[in-house]
């Protein structure tokens, strides 16, 4: 479906809406896929969305693509308070040390959860992985079910396959039960 139809006033055209959060301006559209006119609902703006980031409800996830075009997923620990046992991308909530940097949050959380260190350093000898990745894009920030503004960061590992990266994983068992790779196509 073409995203150019989002919010289109053409009543005959099916539209898809989504919830988006931005640092200074929050736009909200109800999540819906409308294919039948009689099921069409009007979008409602939730006034709480504007304060989510100001309330420290920001997070980032890392969508890591290996050189052989597989994507890393994790299985959350069953002992976690929120979303136990769910499949997700590595990532988590923004800390004060992140200085509101969504990229740093995604890299830090990935390191904490699965042990892959892509954090930028001042010392060339500290992080061999830093030059092996390319940030492809920062996707639009969306609101999760848990009322977090989540920013996905898409990164391509230029040199290592999913098998090579899997061998480097050091899982934080308090947060992650397992990690696995799945092909993009």
Model pTM score: 0.69
List beta partners, residue 93: 59
DSSP structural state of residue 139:
P
Reading the block at residue 168, the tokens are: 């480097």
Inform me whether the pLDDT recorded for 182 exceeds 70: yes
Q: For residue 5, give the 3-state DSSP assignment.
A: helix
- The full set of domain ranges for the chain reads 64-183
What's the CA gap between 8 and 139, in Å, rounded?
22
| C-beta of residue 82 within 8 angstroms of C-beta of residue 175 | no
* Average pLDDT of the residues of the chain: 74
Maximum mean pLDDT: which of 18-32, 43-57, 67-81: 67-81
pLDDT value, residue 126 = 53
Name the helix (H) or strand (E) containing 103: helix 102-114
Which pLDDT tens digit goes with each residue over 161-177?
A: 999 999 999 999 999 99
Inform me whether the pLDDT recorded for 82 exceeds 70: yes
Inform me whether the pLDDT recorded for 12 exceeds 80: no
Domain 64-183 fold is Nucleoside Triphosphate Pyrophosphohydrolase (3.90.79)
Which pLDDT tens digit goes with each residue over 36-61?
A: 333 333 333 344 444 555 565 789 99
Residues 133-152: what's their mean pLDDT?
Answer: 89
What's the CA gap between 87 and 180, in Å, rounded?
10
Share of the chain above pLDDT 90, in %: 45
Residues 104-114: what's their mean pLDDT?
Answer: 95
Q: Which CA distances in Å does 89 have to 96, 122, 150?
A: 21, 27, 11
Residues 92-115: what's their mean pLDDT?
Answer: 91
């Amino acid at each position: 479906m073409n995203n150019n139809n989002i919010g289109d006033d053409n009543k005959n055209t099916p539209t898809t809406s989504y919830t988006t959060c931005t640092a200074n301006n929050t736009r909200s559209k109800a999540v819906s896929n409308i294919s039948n006119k009689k099921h069409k609902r009007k979008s409602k703006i939730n006034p709480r969305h504007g304060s989510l980031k100001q309330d420290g409800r920001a997070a980032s996830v890392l969508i890591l693509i290996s050189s052989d075009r597989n994507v890393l997923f994790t299985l959350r620990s069953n002992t976690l308070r929120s979303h136990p046992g769910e499949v997700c991308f590595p990532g988590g909530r923004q800390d004060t040390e992140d200085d509101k940097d969504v990229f740093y949050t995604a890299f830090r959380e990935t390191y904490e959860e699965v042990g892959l260190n892509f954090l930028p350093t001042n010392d060339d000898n500290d992080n061999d992985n830093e030059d092996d990745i390319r940030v492809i894009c920062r996707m639009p920030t969306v609101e999760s079910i848990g009322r977090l503004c989540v920013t996905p960061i898409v990164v391509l590992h230029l040199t290592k396959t999913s098998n090579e990266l899997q061998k480097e994983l050091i899982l934080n068992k308090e947060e992650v039960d397992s990690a696995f790779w799945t092909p993009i196509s």
